[in-house]
Structure 1
Amino acid sequence: MNMDLQRFHATFFEESHEGLDAMEAALLAIDAGNRDAELVNSVFRAAHSIKGGAATFGFEGMAGLTHLLETLLDDIRGGRREATRAALDAILGSVDVLRALLAEAEHGRPADAKDVQAVRARLEAVLGTEPGTAAPAADSTAAAAEPEGWRIGFSPAPSMFMSGNDPLRILRELEHLGPLEVAARLDRLPAFAQLDPLEACLAWDLGLTARVPRGAVDEVFAWVEDECELDIQPIAAAAAPDAPAGAPADAPLAPSAGAKVQSISDSAESSVRVSVDKIDALINLVGELVITQAMLKQASSSVDPAVAERLFTGLEQLERNTRDLQEAVIGVRMLPVDAVFRRFPRLVRDLSARLGKQVLLRTVGEGTELDKSLIEKVADPLVHLVRNAIDHGLEDPATRSASGKPETGTITLAASHQGGHIVIEVSDDGRGLNRDRILVKAQERGLAVPENPSDAQVWDLVFQPGFSTNDEVTDLSGRGVGMDVVRRNIQGLGGEVELHSKQGSGTRVVIRLPLTLAILDGMSVTAGGEVLILPLTHVLEALQPGQADIRTVAGSGRVLQVRGEYLPLVSLAEVYGYSDRRDADLLVVVVEGDGQKIALEVDELVGQQQVVVKSIEHNYRRVHGVSGATILGDGRVALIVDVGGLVRAQRLPQAA
């Protein structure tokens, strides 16, 4: 049967990316001193899987490199070679080049031929050296006791074809090890009318007559070990001549069709890969359902409940079901933040070695979940922050030792849920920010600095475009590109960035992001006759102050006294250019953003509701003070207030 293998490319690419990530994580653990044999085996299996898939699909460059890599890994896992620093560097370099070759196969971006050749040369150089250790003596004993061959029961899962695997290719690989006797089992073969060409229905009893180690047989099945039922038994020396091809009664080649086979089938069907586009389409449909539900609720407000009791009961049930459906669908998009965190051990390892610093990376809360769309976009800002922490924050070992610190500096990546947000912190125990130096640099650049600025106002200067305290420009720092980009990217995701530092003790950057960009709980208010949505996670309280609580401060506008604290008072009607209505009693909503509170003057509190977020920037352009829009139950569009943007707008006059 001729099959179009391109249908399986997407699965191969996705699994190869996962395999390379797993290889890198295991190699870094080995580099850190973990000598668990299973780590080396996991790296070998990942490389073997990529080699098998690349060879199947005709990606020769990838297959050739992984074959060379596999040889080195086999020496290490067999105890014939030490996992030296040079070997690990060569293997990690291979991972980088394999990512480039994978991108070439997937997206047509040519990999750098010089890089490919260089990493092959490094692998060959390591392989060309004398092995660091001889094989243990026990290996020779084991070799002497190797069986005459192997009985193999091989039962592919029905879905094996769908992952791009071919059982016949596996049988051909076994033939390379020695003479192979094959007997097909037809007990799972359905009637002709029920045959599905995309399902594997056959199983095999195999007899391999060759003195080969068990590991060589395992390697052949390494790529499909999770998609088949295997039973591998040695053929004793005395029994070898009479070993039949089939399964004798006293030594079955495979277990009977029972629980274990069924469990593999269940495992194969317990998860399914779905493209992000399909999930996005589902979320959009759920969003439309939320809007329709709100429309029905508003339309029914004029109906007498006594007359339409069943209608109102149904609407209440619909509201509960809609919210449950929203949470379930959004949960599908949620991924642990470890998907981002696990790329940093390699970054820290390489950069610390390059700068001659000793760095320990700690991660906390890796299982904290975040929307996949946010995970992909928060990675670059975090890379900036970690690089800054190593380059600017941490001192070299001699300096740390002289100041009474451990020679090894620590960078901590932490994630946690706080209310409706996820909070990601990047902190270090380095030198901290130099307040005086920042002020000098700000004056040299002509930046507006308030009189007697607070620490928060000084740290805020670091986020100005092009700001840098480095006098020397290197490929890592000094170009003034970084922190302003971090803030801009995070704000683009509806988030906020705060910076805290103490000279000599370190720096901490706190990022707050919404859990998802799709749906939020909001407070509906009116201002100038228009409905606006305040994200509920920013709302602290609503109150009706007296005129005696309002003051006017020269150069700062109006402020409101709330329990001894003076907050900037902002009219939402003025901010958005609506007609201001100040004939009614003053009504204020206190909100917090970017670590600062402000009081928002509104006309009326309408209520709380869950709203579907629609991007204005994507469909129109970025609008100051607006983070998005939503459709109300009556079909009108309501703007979602960018609380963080309003807070930052209040800071600018203070810094002028």
Structure 2
Amino acid sequence: MDIADFFDTFFEEAEELLADMEQHLLELDVDDPDSEQLNAIFRAAHSIKGGAGTFGFGVLQKTTHILENLLDSARKGELSLRADLVDTFLEAKDIMHEQLNAYRNEEEPNQEAYERICQTLQQIALEEMGEPLEVPTVAPAQPAAPEPATTENAPAAENRLVVSFINVKEKDRALLIEELEQLGDILSQSGDEQRFEVALTASVSADDIEAVMCFIIEPEQIQISAAPAAAQSAPAPVAEPAAKSIKPEAPAPAEKPAASKAADEKSTAKKAAPESSSIRVSVDKVDQIINLVGELIITQSMLDQTVNDLGERSTGNSSLQNGMSLLQRNARDLQEAVMSIRMIPMEFVFSRFPRVVRDTAGKLGKEIELVTEGKSTELDKSLVERITDPLTHLVRNSLDHGIEMPEVREALGKPRQGKLTLAARHQGGNILIEVKDDGAGMDRERLLAKARENGMNVSDTLSDEEVYQLIFAPGFSTAAEVTDVSGRGVGMDVVKRNIQGMGGRVEIQSTLGEGTNTRIVLPLTLAILDGMSIKVGGETFILPLSTVLESLQPAKNDMYAMAGDDVVLKVRDEYLPVIAIHEALDVENAITDPTRSIAVIVQGEGRRYALLVDELIGQQQVVVKNLEENYRKVPGVSAATILGDGSVALILDITGLHRLSRAKKEAGKSASLTPYSYDKEIALS
């Protein structure tokens, strides 16, 4: 058996175990620690240590072993927990993560960091328990992808072991026995699903066997003990001291409850059940399926178009009509099912922030309570990976600029502890993510003053939303001094740009003295889009349905010419900038009289616009094709799609379209592009 085949599985599971370890450490109450949490932290360290030893990752094995011993002392009550000890454990977890990444990249871990954390942990052991920790005897430096170590710590070939499986289903048990056959010669096997025992002569150590088995079952479901040489049939489990003799470095067997306790076995079985009902699939394979489903949707649209073109000739053929309806329904269901595979709960994102808040609040000397809501809300995996950095910037910004120091809050009659809320929920075809704090809020006048100081052209007539958007301007910062956290005026502009790159927008609501709510609105996925088809001249365009608010027929009395060539449309006492799509995109044979056009009211970057189009075709779902990968970046256009008749339609970018329209007017091109005269046809305000 080539153990290197298990490398990827080990790396993935170790990542999950480290994440679980961090979460439990952050949730620990040092004054009254929960025994289940301590056991869970210990089990995570123990599993990583076993796998690291199996694959020859010596530095990771040593680091985890020392940490594991301290955790064992903590769960036994021999080591009293304090906040600074938890900080050290978190630091050890970070270093283990770095070591794991080094082995993943076939590199050697940082020796200086390893020696530093080992020295720190040993110092804790000396100060708190009066004795140093035992270090496993393995070579300090192993190759990144070694052959299985079978000489230094392997038992003699004739050494017999009993491997007991607890609450393991027959299907998984068969797979485990196959693996055992690769690790030694099986002498006998007997038992039932509650407890099944396999006696064998092992060619590897008990730790190696456990590490391989734990890729399939939980550590609590396996027990390994030495067997008498005479045991050839149904071997009985050996007393615990014998088990310790073959695994001298194990700190305690407490993580494996006795099989005689039926309640514990039942609990273990319930915990292990979900693992056997899931599989690991490469994201590339899922993406390939999504692309194929997208092509199927396009083909189905083409068939729909063909049936519609047949007109009356198809109406008499009920089987054709029924077949098309069934195909459409099945294609839609298939698409939704495939898309759901890529959906990941927001808990995956939110779980990273307790550590961010803890560390940042510590640096700033603030007391912060983190609250998360809507952790089960799902988002496309590609967006989950891209939203983490923008959210981190927003959280750090709220902690630094938003929430006041404890003394200041107390003087204002607020609780010393500030509150930061991360929330997520679905809103139509979008997901809404909120970063809310109960801090000082935004000072409109201070923002305007800072903008003028930076040379920005701002007006007192700007709405609150437009003033708050100033914080996203490059280099803009109201911080009195630069800190380790923020204040340099970098980051927030990148946040907005990244969110817009995901097809989303950022909105800000704030009340001075009460707090700020930053809202991120994102599409659920970038692969499929609900759109509104519009006609301009002979061209068909797609507007993201999430940006469309309403449509109306403009009246001449509601349109006003502003300075230069700008025109606004009055809609219920609100004046909206007018964008003529045929002007911005140079579309020929379009309707040029605005009163004969249709105004589609859309929203982008927190502002509303009126788009002039010739015709509304209808709502449809389209498969998004990246334009930059297949052609190049086009101003005012975010992507493209293929329509049912095989033609290509451009998906419009609202904010990009507005910038393009303004740029053309400022360049003096609007006169040649505008066949009608606003100042003659429209009354001035």
Task: State the TM-score bracket (shorter-chain normalisation).
Answer: 0.7 to 0.9
> Is 2:312 aligned against 1:300?
no
Q: In 2, Cα distance between the equivalents of 1:375 and 1:71?
A: 36
Moved more, 427-436 or 262-271: 262-271
Give the alignment of 1:563-642 within 5 angstroms. Answer: 563-579=572-588, 581-582=590-591, 585-642=596-653
Moved more, 319-328 or 467-476: 467-476
Q: In 2, Cα distance between the equivalents of 1:97 and 1:558?
A: 59
Q: In 2, Cα distance between the equivalents of 1:228 and 1:98?
A: 20
CA contact (8 A) 1:165 1:224 kept: no
> Is 2:74 aligned against 1:76?
yes
Please give the secondary structure, in 2, of the residue aligned with 1:589: strand
The unaligned stretches of length 5 or more in structure 2 are 131-160, 201-206, 237-257, 666-685
Q: In 2, Cα distance between the equivalents of 1:64 and 1:81?
A: 20
1:485 aligned residue = 494
CA contact (8 A) 2:583 2:661 kept: no
2:155 aligned residue = none
Q: In 2, Cα distance between the equivalents of 1:262 and 1:569?
A: 64
Please give the secondary structure, in 2, of the residue aligned with 1:25: helix
Q: In 2, Cα distance between the equivalents of 1:113 and 1:221?
A: 27
> Is 2:510 aligned against 1:506?
no
Question: What's the offset of the Cα at 1:583?
Answer: 5.7
Give the alignment of 1:174-189 within 5 angstroms. Answer: 184-185=188-189
Give the alignment of 1:248-259 within 5 angstroms. Answer: none
Assess, with a 3 A threshold, how the Cα gap between structure 1 residues 164 and 154 changes in structure 2: closer, same or farther. closer
Q: Deviations over 1:495-544 (max 9, x none)?
A: 00112222222221110000000001111111132110011122222222
Q: Which amino acid in the other structure matches residue 40 of structure 2?
A: S
CA contact (8 A) 1:159 1:227 kept: no
Give the alignment of 1:320-335 within 5 angstroms. Answer: 320-335=329-344
Assess, with a 3 A threshold, how the Cα gap between structure 1 residues 417 and 651 changes in structure 2: closer, same or farther. farther
CA contact (8 A) 2:162 2:198 kept: no
- Of the candidates 278, 281, 293, which is equivalent to residue 271 of structure 1? 278
Assess, with a 3 A threshold, how the Cα gap between structure 1 residues 521 and 587 changes in structure 2: closer, same or farther. same
Q: In 2, Cα distance between the equivalents of 1:308 and 1:294?
A: 19
Q: Which amino acid in the other structure matches residue 234 of structure 2?
A: G
Give the alignment of 1:132-147 within 5 angstroms. Answer: none
Question: What's the offset of the Cα at 1:116?
Answer: 2.1
User: In the comparison of the two structures, how many residue pairs are matched?
Assistant: 595
Q: Which amino acid in the other structure matches residue 639 of structure 1?
A: L
Please give the secondary structure, in 2, of the residue aligned with 1:433: coil
Q: Which amino acid in the other structure matches residue 599 of structure 1?
A: A
Q: Which amino acid in the other structure matches residue 306 of structure 1?
A: T
Q: In 2, Cα distance between the equivalents of 1:652 and 1:81?
A: 67
Q: In 1, Cα distance between the equivalents of 2:181 and 2:90?
A: 33
Please give the secondary structure, in 2, of the residue aligned with 1:462: helix
1:93 aligned residue = 91
Q: Which amino acid in the other structure matches residue 184 of structure 1?
A: S
Q: Which amino acid in the other structure matches residue 614 of structure 1?
A: K
Q: In 1, Cα distance between the equivalents of 2:272 and 2:364?
A: 51
Moved more, 645-654 or 635-644: 645-654
Q: Which amino acid in the other structure matches residue 189 of structure 2?
A: R
Question: What's the offset of the Cα at 1:94?
Answer: 0.8
Q: Which amino acid in the other structure matches residue 62 of structure 2?
A: G
Question: What's the offset of the Cα at 1:598?
Answer: 1.7
Q: In 1, Cα distance between the equivalents of 2:483 and 2:269?
A: 59
Assess, with a 3 A threshold, how the Cα gap between structure 1 residues 245 and 165 changes in structure 2: closer, same or farther. closer
Q: Which amino acid in the other structure matches residue 578 of structure 1?
A: V
Moved more, 8-17 or 552-561: 552-561
Question: What's the offset of the Cα at 1:229?
Answer: 9.2
Question: What's the offset of the Cα at 1:159?
Answer: 5.0
Q: Which amino acid in the other structure matches residue 298 of structure 1?
A: Q
1:154 aligned residue = 165
Q: Which amino acid in the other structure matches residue 101 of structure 2?
A: A
- Of the candidates 195, 198, 213, which is equivalent to residue 204 of structure 1? 198
> Is 2:226 aligned against 1:246?
no
Give the alignment of 1:18-29 within 5 angstroms. Answer: 18-29=16-27
> Is 2:378 aligned against 1:369?
yes
1:533 aligned residue = 542
Assess, with a 3 A threshold, how the Cα gap between structure 1 residues 262 and 345 changes in structure 2: closer, same or farther. closer
Q: In 1, Cα distance between the equivalents of 2:99 and 2:378?
A: 31
1:357 aligned residue = 366
Please give the secondary structure, in 2, of the residue aligned with 1:512: strand
Q: In 2, Cα distance between the equivalents of 1:578 and 1:653?
A: 14
Q: Which amino acid in the other structure matches residue 337 of structure 1?
A: M
Question: What's the offset of the Cα at 1:441?
Answer: 2.3
Q: Percent identity?
A: 47
Q: Deviations over 1:183-240 (max 9, x none)?
A: 621799xxxxxxxxxxxxx95169xxxxxxxxx9x99999468359959799xxxxx9
CA contact (8 A) 2:54 2:211 kept: no
- Of the candidates 305, 315, 318, which is equivalent to residue 309 of structure 1? 318
- Of the candidates 412, 426, 431, which is equivalent to residue 417 of structure 1? 426
Output the TM-score relative to the length of structure 1: 0.82
Q: In 1, Cα distance between the equivalents of 2:591 and 2:561?
A: 16
1:289 aligned residue = 296
Question: What's the offset of the Cα at 1:580?
Answer: 5.4
Q: In 2, Cα distance between the equivalents of 1:424 and 1:160?
A: 44
Question: What's the offset of the Cα at 1:373?
Answer: 0.5
CA contact (8 A) 1:153 1:253 kept: no
Q: Deviations over 1:70-126 (max 9, x none)?
A: 100110111111122232122101110011011111124654332222211111111
Q: In 1, Cα distance between the equivalents of 2:422 and 2:661?
A: 31
Q: Deviations over 1:253-274 (max 9, x none)?
A: 999xxx9999999755411110
CA contact (8 A) 2:197 2:235 kept: no
CA contact (8 A) 1:27 1:88 kept: yes
Q: In 2, Cα distance between the equivalents of 1:53 and 1:227?
A: 13
Question: What's the offset of the Cα at 1:560?
Answer: 2.1
Q: In 1, Cα distance between the equivalents of 2:176 and 2:92?
A: 25
CA contact (8 A) 2:422 2:433 kept: yes
Q: Which amino acid in the other structure matches residue 185 of structure 1?
A: Q
- Of the candidates 203, 213, 217, which is equivalent to residue 226 of structure 1? 217
Q: In 1, Cα distance between the equivalents of 2:118 and 2:181?
A: 31
Assess, with a 3 A threshold, how the Cα gap between structure 1 residues 651 and 295 changes in structure 2: closer, same or farther. same
Q: Which amino acid in the other structure matches residue 276 of structure 1?
A: V
Q: In 1, Cα distance between the equivalents of 2:356 and 2:176?
A: 32
2:485 aligned residue = 476
1:131 aligned residue = 129
Please give the secondary structure, in 2, of the residue aligned with 1:617: helix
Question: What's the offset of the Cα at 1:334?
Answer: 0.4
- Of the candidates 569, 584, 607, which is equivalent to residue 560 of structure 1? 569
Assess, with a 3 A threshold, how the Cα gap between structure 1 residues 278 and 375 changes in structure 2: closer, same or farther. same
Question: What's the offset of the Cα at 1:46?
Answer: 0.7
Please give the secondary structure, in 2, of the residue aligned with 1:590: strand
- RMSD value, Cα: 3.9
> Is 2:291 aligned against 1:280?
no
CA contact (8 A) 1:393 1:430 kept: yes
Question: What's the offset of the Cα at 1:450?
Answer: 2.3
Give the alignment of 1:424-503 within 5 angstroms. Answer: 424-503=433-512
Please give the secondary structure, in 2, of the residue aligned with 1:293: helix
Q: In 1, Cα distance between the equivalents of 2:507 and 2:664?
A: 19
CA contact (8 A) 1:574 1:580 kept: no
Assess, with a 3 A threshold, how the Cα gap between structure 1 residues 81 and 354 changes in structure 2: closer, same or farther. same
Q: Which amino acid in the other structure matches residue 414 of structure 1?
A: A
Q: In 1, Cα distance between the equivalents of 2:301 and 2:234?
A: 67
Please give the secondary structure, in 2, of the residue aligned with 1:130: helix
Assess, with a 3 A threshold, how the Cα gap between structure 1 residues 151 and 590 changes in structure 2: closer, same or farther. same
Please give the secondary structure, in 1, of the residue aligned with 2:315: coil
1:399 aligned residue = 408
Question: What's the offset of the Cα at 1:165?
Answer: 11
Moved more, 311-320 or 411-420: 311-320
Q: In 1, Cα distance between the equivalents of 2:477 and 2:425?
A: 30
Moved more, 317-326 or 4-13: 4-13
